C-alpha cells in the first residue's frame, strides 16, 4: 500500500518551475492571440467601417449637389432658348435685369 501511495504522490506533484513555464506559455499564447485578433480589427475593420460610412454620407451629399446643379443647368438652357427665340423674352430681360427702357418711355424715380 505504501508503494501505490508514493506513485500517486509522485504522479500528482509537479515541480514549481514546470507550472511557471506552462503558465508563461499560456499567457504568451493568449497575448499573441489577442494581438493577432485585435490589431487587424482595429486597423482594418473598425477604421475601414468608419471611413466607409463617412464616404457613403459624402457620396449622398455630392449626388444631391449634382442633382441641384443639373436642374439649374436645365433651367438656364431653357432660359437661353427662350431668349434666342422670343423677342418678348429679350425685352423682359432688358427691362428687369438691365434696367433699360424704350426710347419713347419716361423713367420716373420715386424716393
Q: What is the model's pLDDT at position 3?
A: 53
SS3 state of residue 67: helix
What is the predicted pLDDT for the residue at 27?
Answer: 93
The residue extents of the domains of the chain are 18-96
Query: What's the pLDDT tens digit per position in 4-35?
Result: 555 555 566 667 777 788 899 999 999 999 88
Determine the pLDDT at residue 4: 53
In this prediction the pTM is: 0.47
Which residue, 40, 36, 39, 18, is CA-closest to 28? Answer: 36
Residues of the chain with pLDDT under 70: 1-14, 46
Query: Rounded to 5, what percent of the chain is helix, strand, coil?
Result: 80, 0, 20
Q: Which three cell numbers stand for residue 64?
A: 444631391
Predicted local distance difference test score (pLDDT) of residue 9: 52
Amino acid at each position: 500500500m505504501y508503494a501505490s501511495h508514493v506513485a500517486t504522490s509522485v504522479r500528482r506533484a509537479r515541480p514549481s518551475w514546470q507550472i511557471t513555464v506552462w503558465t508563461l506559455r499560456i499567457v504568451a499564447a493568449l497575448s499573441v492571440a489577442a494581438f493577432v485578433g485585435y490589431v487587424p480589427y482595429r486597423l482594418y475593420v473598425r477604421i475601414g467601417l468608419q471611413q466607409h460610412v463617412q464616404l457613403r454620407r459624402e457620396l449622398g451629399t455630392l449626388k444631391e449637389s449634382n442633382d441641384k446643379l443639373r436642374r439649374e443647368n436645365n433651367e438656364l438652357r431653357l432660359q437661353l432658348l427662350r431668349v434666342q427665340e422670343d423677342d418678348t423674352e429679350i425685352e423682359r430681360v432688358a427691362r428687369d435685369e438691365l434696367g433699360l427702357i424704350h426710347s419713347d418711355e419716361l423713367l420716373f424715380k420715386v424716393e
